[in-house]
Chains A and B, each alone.
Chain A
Amino acid sequence: MPHQQHESATHRKVGQVYLVNSIVLLKQFAAILLIFIGAFLIMWISNRSGVMPKKTQLGDPDSTIISTKARLATTSNQKRIAFVGDSSCLVNIHIPTMNDNGIDAVNLGTLSYLGIDSFGLLAQRFCQNKPDAEIFLVLHPECVRMVASSSDHRNILLEALDRATDSSTQFQLSNLRKITVDDFSSRLFDGWLPTPLKGRLGYRYGFTHNLMSEIFSTGGFMEETSRFDASDFHGSSDYRIARRVQNECTLFRSYLPNGVRVYLLVSPIPQSHATRGNEKQILEMRSEIGKWIQSENPSKNMPTVLPDSSFGTVTHLLPNSAREYTQQLCLMLSQ
């Protein structure tokens, strides 16, 4: 037999004897590898050629939130006021309460990982053909001190806003799985097979497309489902402005058309977490960031500290508290 490696089986101390036809094995493994590579190639070509359904970006909660907000920014033609910002904006600004108070607004709050300049991109999309639009930038002190934003999250937003070409069509060796099988299965299954949300979002919303439809129906609001426990939280309340913020704020402003009015709103922190120095730090934040984004009238009357019982997490208010907070905001706006 060709290439057969037949060793003596008579020696008492021999460990194992390989009675292997190398050609047969190599042929089989090579064929598996070829088909495997072929399958990846077909998937990549299918993703590129456009024969596959369009990507829904509903694979995970972050993508779902970001892409839903991009759609909201694009489709909210009748609205004049938009709230953009981190997740404290997403869960603290209750749009149905605003509507009850006669304020027609949309909540475009997303996630702090995006960075302030990315919030500007959403605001820019919202402001298209709206010279009299008003933008509220809602930031939590936790977001302001964050050292860096995530380029992955920004890419999701850019794709959702159609500002970047679909990354699945660009060949990158380092991202081979994403551009082939991940995108292929996402295009194939996301449209009809529900994707469960992990963690606490799963209990409340179930699946990614439920989250999307609920965000849509509430004008961009998402409920916080946890409950804040001060004894479990060990984070620092020394809030400072990270270096990146000034640059991001300048970019944020540059994305908006002239004439669009911008306001800054600093989200509240829990009572037990607040220290004496916070008041000064938050005033500084309002003044500095307000200057960088050319905020017209910093919202001095809104509370910066609320009781622990109002919070789901250190940055997020519980749904009822979000309603009360929004009610207070409506009062401030009407003044």
Chain B
Amino acid sequence: MIFNSNIFILFFSAFALIYWLVRRNQRCRDWLILGSSFIFYGTWDWRFLGLLVVTGGIDFVCAYKIGISHNPTYKKRWLMLSILSNMGTLGFFKYSGFFLESAFHILEIVGIQSTRPVFAVILPAGISFYTFQALAYTIDVYRGHIKSETNPVKYFAFLTFFPQLVAGPIERASVLLPQFRQQRFINDSMILRGVWFILWGFFLKVVIADYFAPLVDMVFNVKHLGGSVNILATLAFGGQIYGDFAGYSLIAIGLANTLGFELSANFSYPYLSSNIQDFWRRWHQTLSTWFRDYLYIPLGGDRFGSFRTFFNICLTFILAGLWHGANWTFIFWGLCHGLALGCYRIWRTSKISASIRIPKIVGWGMTMWVVGIGWLFFRATSVSHAWDMVRAVAKDQPPSWSNDYALAVSFGLLAVWFYDVFNKHFHWERVCAWPWSLRVVVKSILLVFIVARWGKEPPSFIYFQF
């Protein structure tokens, strides 16, 4: 069940009605959220519900034990168990094939021939998201930032909360769990804001991302296309993934708002960023802060000199790349961003940067260049595919339809730029000050666009594969 499907609209409508009916009873509300989240997740593959319950259950017990214990060694052991459980699950389902494949490849390089075993594991939907959310919970309990939850229903409702279960935002327990402990107050403003976000989310997905999708596929899915179309296809993918993921996040936030819950923002006009650090403050914010708090800072952050900082940044981004998928392309994507951010940090802390002022437009151009190279690796099927595409830009002749392609991509990118500028200048607090009639007109226009592009066989969200 995906957000942009008729079945989800029916599912959520039915859920909202029952949610309203059980409003007087918090326990019923929690059970309803939990049951609905299980149904939502079970529609992908019900067999993985067991995995969700087992890994989530281990985290629940670990956090509980950490919470009641006063012995640091004992606490550490329970934390290690939680980390092992989450990383083991993630490692088995997501990375075992990749590491085995890479190991056999290395053996072949050094001249040891062996028969590669056939090893295929189905990847459970959203595994990277919910394991990170669960892991953050036990670490926060261990650090004493939050108290462990004693009610398993509330805990599982927090972990599997269906608007954000499959593709985030990766919510911190300190933000979301207390909301399950309290009664929620739902007012007009919250519902209207939720609807506003849902409409913009659907607009980003079905109008922008799905517009780019065939344009991206027609270049990335075929070899021997050259010239400018390779660059344009990479830019188009930047638009597609933004529309797709930011759209999902907005729908999730909007749905949660209509239920009285607040989720963290995940995107804040990233394509207007004037430097790479700024970009990472605006792109997939809940993941970047997760890596900052649970990896970069524990590694030492920027406390041990320039070289160590550079190393920490690169390592963090390589692992962030690997988080996306078990492929060298994602590692290169992470490395590309890590190197750029590391270099930017060195530049910013150097004395020259104080005397030389780089115009914003140059900074923006450089940032988009780095981000673009990253997207090339991210979308390519292999590193050699990405490299072939780079070489083909200068080497091969562009196809006869490259001018049409440029026009189609430019039109889409203009829409993305318009969205980011609009989003920057008209965030919800400002929109609230508009006359209600203007808000209604904007919502109606969005609705018309969404209905126009709503497909019978809706394409899935890109981040579901992670």
Interface residue? A15 (CB, 8 A): yes
9-residue interface stretch from B71-79, B335-343, B405-413, B420-428: B405-413
Do A36 and B218 have beta carbons less than 8 Å apart? no
What are the residues of chain B within 8 A of A20 when measuring CB–CB? 186-188, 191
Do A177 and B400 have beta carbons less than 8 Å apart? no
How many Å from the CB of B31 to the closest CB on chain A?
A: 10
Total count of chain A residues near the partner, CB < 8 A: 38
How many Å from the CB of A89 to the closest CB on chain B?
A: 25
Counting residue pairs across A and B whose Cβ atoms lie within 8 Å, the total is 124
9-residue interface stretch from B5-13, B166-174, B438-446: B438-446
How many Å from the CB of B216 to the closest CB on chain A?
A: 10
What are the residues of chain A within 8 A of B218 when measuring CB–CB? 196-198, 202-203, 206
The complex places the Cα of A319 from the Cα of B41 at a distance, in Å, of 47
Closest to B448 in A: A39
Interface residue? A230 (CB, 8 A): no
Do A17 and B185 have beta carbons less than 8 Å apart? yes
> A20-B187, A194-B407, A202-B214 in contact; A31/B437 too (CB < 8 A)?
yes
CB proximity to B under 8 Å, residues A141-184: 177, 181-182
Say which residue of A19, A177, A210 sits within 8 Å of B401 (CB atoms): A210
Interface residue? B192 (CB, 8 A): yes
The complex places the Cα of A24 from the Cα of B30 at a distance, in Å, of 29
> A15-B28, A16-B29, A35-B440 in contact; A25/B407 too (CB < 8 A)?
no
How many Å from the CB of A185 to the closest CB on chain B?
A: 6
Do A25 and B451 have beta carbons less than 8 Å apart? no
> A25-B188, A32-B444, A39-B444 in contact; A15/B214 too (CB < 8 A)?
no
Closest to A30 in B: B440
Do B405 and A194 have beta carbons less than 8 Å apart? yes
Interface residue? B350 (CB, 8 A): no
Q: Per-position contact with B for A60-89: 1 when CB-CB < 8 Å, else 0?
A: 000000000000000000000000000000
Do A31 and B447 have beta carbons less than 8 Å apart? no
Secondary structure at chain B's binding surface: helix, strand, loop or mixed?
A: helix
The complex places the Cα of A181 from the Cα of B449 at a distance, in Å, of 9
9-residue interface stretch from B17-25, B246-254, B367-375, B386-394: B17-25
Do A210 and B448 have beta carbons less than 8 Å apart? no
What are the residues of chain B within 8 A of A17 when measuring CB–CB? 23, 183-186
Max count, chain A CB within 10 A of own CB: residue among B27, B188, B222 = B188
CB proximity to B under 8 Å, residues A76-120: none
What are the residues of chain A within 8 A of B185 when measuring CB–CB? 9, 16-17, 19
Interface residue? B217 (CB, 8 A): yes
CB proximity to A under 8 Å, residues B314-328: none
CB proximity to A under 8 Å, residues B191-229: 191-192, 214-215, 217-218, 221-222, 225
The complex places the Cα of A193 from the Cα of B404 at a distance, in Å, of 8
Interface residue? B354 (CB, 8 A): no
Interface residue? B36 (CB, 8 A): no
How many Å from the CB of A76 to the closest CB on chain B?
A: 24
Chain A to chain B: the 10 pairs with minimum beta-carbon distance, closest first: A206-B401, A15-B29, A35-B444, A202-B218, A16-B184, A194-B404, A203-B222, A181-B452, A19-B187, A15-B26
Q: List 10 A-B contacts (CB under 8 A).
A: A16-B185, A19-B186, A20-B188, A27-B436, A35-B440, A177-B451, A177-B452, A182-B452, A193-B408, A198-B217
Q: List 13 other contacts, CB 8 Å, given A32-B443, A181-B451.
A: A14-B26, A16-B186, A25-B188, A28-B192, A39-B444, A181-B452, A194-B404, A194-B405, A196-B408, A198-B214, A206-B400, A206-B405, A210-B401
* Chain A residues close to B by CB (< 8 Å): 7, 9, 11, 13-21, 24-25, 27-28, 31-32, 35-36, 39-40, 177, 181-182, 185, 193-194, 196-198, 202-203, 205-207, 209-210
